[in-house]
Structure 1
Amino acid sequence: MRRVLTRVINRVLMGDPFARTKMGVNAEVHKQGRRKLVVGLGNPGMEETRHSVGMAVLGALAARLGVSDRWRGDRHVSGEVILSEVQDTQVVLLRPRLLMNINGVCVAKAARKYGVKPEDILLVHDELDKPLGKVAIKHGGSARGHNGVRSCVDCLHTDAVLRLRVGIGRPSGETSVERYVLSRFTSEEQRILDSVLVRSVDLVVSQLLPAASHQDPRPASSPAGGGRAAPHGKQREPSPED
């Protein structure tokens, strides 16, 4: 019942719940190659929690590209955006300003406005079934229990989106999953997270560059990159609202 209600909310906020074929109709035309959309999933006002680690990665990406001061609110997409470039690829960075469970509304609106196809969208989100320190790219597939991803799939009417899954691990002891994901990283975890953010940005950038290019757009003073991603696993997320 909760899932059905969330789906209805998604479609009501989209404005036209039956517009399966209208993606890009009102898009801003981009004639010089394909745009790509990178989204940091999370909860507004809770950017430092485990569940909003996607937003942390997006912030690190903006810093890598030297555009951290260019965030601007866009009421048409219910989020904050930056328009940037990675070599010849135009990139839209998006921080949704709606709750995680309806992040998909922001993503679909941004895709429509900026003329981005689902296959050119990269969602960055937390992954319960990977330990902190592990990151992995996933091409399409089900939401695996992640409410933010499920909202995106529902609003885009497809699961053909690229995902960067950032491990946050599962809680120990009697701590509930919902309380755990909405809590902040400990000081020890934060030290691990610092290197995770670097590796995550490396992976995002590699997906944005043309296939034949391996150049890194980071400033020379940025920290060195990390290793490759680990294989993906299943996600299980709490059923209550995030």
Structure 2
Amino acid sequence: MPRYRKRSDGKPEPGAVRRNLSNCPCLWRVCGRLDDVEPPPLDGLLRIMIVGLGNYQIQSSRCSVGMAAVNILAKKLTVDATWHLDRRCDAKVAVAVYGHHEIILLKPQQFMKMNGVSVRRAAEVYQVAPEDIFMIHDQIYIPLGKYVPGKEETIRDHSGVISCKNEMKSNLMTSVMIGIGPAPRTTKRGRLHHKLGRFSEVQQRKLMQVLEQCTNYLLEDLVKC
């Protein structure tokens, strides 16, 4: 790491350490705070991160189906009782081992358009590369009852995904989209109201079926790796 200037009393110049860290060439930019970084996984395990994008304050809304999906994953992996708030990345975290993978389940505790901040911090803390991150999120361009593993052209203008890409400075993350269906009104306000609204009882049953299928797909795909 480059040296920083010291004052006449031998102490670092105010702000010098912060500037120095911001220019650090290491991959995770965590020099000076190694105590905050999790150790690598056990030998033979590949660490991945599965993120449920959404609005933490309204987790029952259509736009938070990603969080509902990771909740189901936590139950399937029998770690649903271990959710805890990791203040280092401002997210709820549960850790599971499945086959040859150590899985970091993540629910950002920020608004959707800020989800990427939590994802970037978690990637630094748990030392996960962008290509080992899976984002589960809603998509209004896909009918309710269907899910689609990420295709770049269909992600479009999802604010949570855009936030993650901008913060991670990478397009290598995998996206798994859960259809919530189109908004009844095509105006910007109409789409927003649709995303923040809740599913009806009939829609909820349909959603649970597709979430079951989606989470099974993710786990089966991991077995093949």
Q: Judge same fold: TM > 0.5, yes or no.
A: yes
Matched residue count:
196
Partner of 1:151: 163
Aligned sequence identity (%): 32
The alignment's TM-score, normalised by the length of structure 1, stands at 0.75
Unaligned runs of 5+ in 2: 1-20
Tell me the distance in 2 between the aligned counterparts of 1:136 and 1:19: 38
Instruction: Tell me, yes or no, if the aligned pair for 1:127 and 1:165 is still in contact at 8 Å.
Output: yes
SS in 2 for 1:37: strand
Change (3 A) 1:153 1:143: farther
Change (3 A) 1:209 1:186: same
Partner of 1:35: 47
In the alignment, residue 22 of structure 1 is paired with which amino acid? L
Deviation (angstroms), 1:207: 3.3
Structure 2 residue corresponding to 1:58, chosen from 66, 70, 90: 70
Change (3 A) 1:89 1:135: same
Which structure has the higher relative contact order (CA within 8 Å, separation 6+)?
1
Q: Deviations over 1:89-143 (max 9, x none)?
A: 1010000001100100100111111111100000000011000011011166785
Tell me the distance in 1 between the aligned counterparts of 2:92 and 2:73: 14
Tell me the distance in 1 between the aligned counterparts of 2:217 and 2:25: 31
Partner of 2:203: 189
Q: Deviations over 1:123-181 (max 9, x none)?
A: 00001100001101116678510000000001111011011100001122577000000
Tell me the distance in 2 between the aligned counterparts of 1:46 and 1:169: 18
**When you count helix as a share of all residues, which structure comes out higher?**
2
Tell me the distance in 1 between the aligned counterparts of 2:160 and 2:104: 19
Q: Deviations over 1:41-94 (max 9, x none)?
A: 000121110000000001111111111111011000100101111112101000
Instruction: Tell me, yes or no, if the aligned pair for 2:46 and 2:100 is still in contact at 8 Å.
Output: no
Change (3 A) 1:153 1:147: same
Tell me the distance in 2 between the aligned counterparts of 1:199 and 1:82: 21
Which structure's CA Rg is the greater one?
2
Partner of 2:174: 162
The alignment's TM-score, normalised by the length of structure 2, stands at 0.80
Deviates more, 1:30-39 or 1:44-53: 30-39
SS in 1 for 2:193: helix
